[in-house]
Amino acid sequence: MASHATGDGGIPPRDAAKRGLTRIMTLGGAYGTRNYTVKDLRDQKGKRVLVETLPFSTDEAAAAEEAGIDTMKVRFDPKNPEPAAAIRAAAPNTFMAFSVPLLAAATADEAVRLGFDAMAVGADAIMCQWSPRFIEAAAEAGIPVQGHAGLVPRRSTWTGGLRAVGKTLDEAMWVYKSIKELEDAGAYAVEVEVIPEELLAEISKRTSLMTASIGAGSGGDIQFLFAEDILGNNPPPYPRHSKQYRDIYKMQQAIQAERVAGFKEFVDDVQKGVFPEPKHVIKAKDGLIDDFLEAVDKDS
């Protein structure tokens, strides 16, 4: 069949291999090419640190893929899957874990269904804040799952709010045991948020999971930052763990100022009668208006 010969973007198998891409079939049944499979990612553990981002637009996703970002997370809304599908299409060759909403699954069966919905749109994995029981159900169904440990924002009431976790022995052991529970449940990776750098380094040595660090220093297998932080899409204050490599917010403000100035000049020109100029209008042929007025008078 023709669909077997090419992947996303119509890349022939030989060209895909030359570009370091692997031919895959998604759990949803679509053929494609990816820079990594789950096996590839796990084979990288302890060898080099990968880079990951979460784009919020198709432009950001396409730019991240062109720049060589290893993996991406993508927010997935089962009620409105089109944005995630568009980002998938914008970066067709990059491994993506779709981040599924916590409250969308109240049972293990619903967790599996939600995971399947994400995979049907083109996810290579899902990222979640679920309990090990839900993760085990999804993993058993063949869905690659990335869990979340350390500061889990939506569960932060249990750890004292939006603050660093793991700064005491009890908390450090709790983070470690949480990650081991995710490992036992069948996850392939875990996002570890805002714990001491040295703690993540030691835990990462003691788990088979790929550890993705966000605000947890350089001790993990993956370094993760949101695209909006990397690109400086927003004004200060910035998260402590983030770094702005560009100042797109400043550029957007300058563009907005240019928009306002353009509209003001247009208003001013119209009010002064200098727009439209002769070059902006169509002139009637000689005699057309006289003929028109004569015709109107006869018609009335």
The dihedral region occupied by 217, where left means phi > 0, alpha psi between -120 and 50, and beta the remainder, is left
The answer to whether residues 74 and 97 touch, using CB atoms and an 8 Å cutoff, is yes
Q: Output the DSSP codes for 158-200.
A: GGTSSS----SHHHHHHHHHHHHHHHHHT-SEEEEES--HHHH
User: Which of helix, strand or coil describes residue 246?
Assistant: coil
CA dihedral angle for residue 11, residue 16, residue 22, residue 23, rounded to 10 degrees: 30
Query: 209 pairs with which residues across the strands?
Result: none
Q: Output the DSSP codes for 14-65.
A: HHHHHTT-EEEE-TTS-EEEES--HHHHHHTTTT--EEEEE-SSHHHHHHHH
Q: Which residues are catalytic?
A: 193
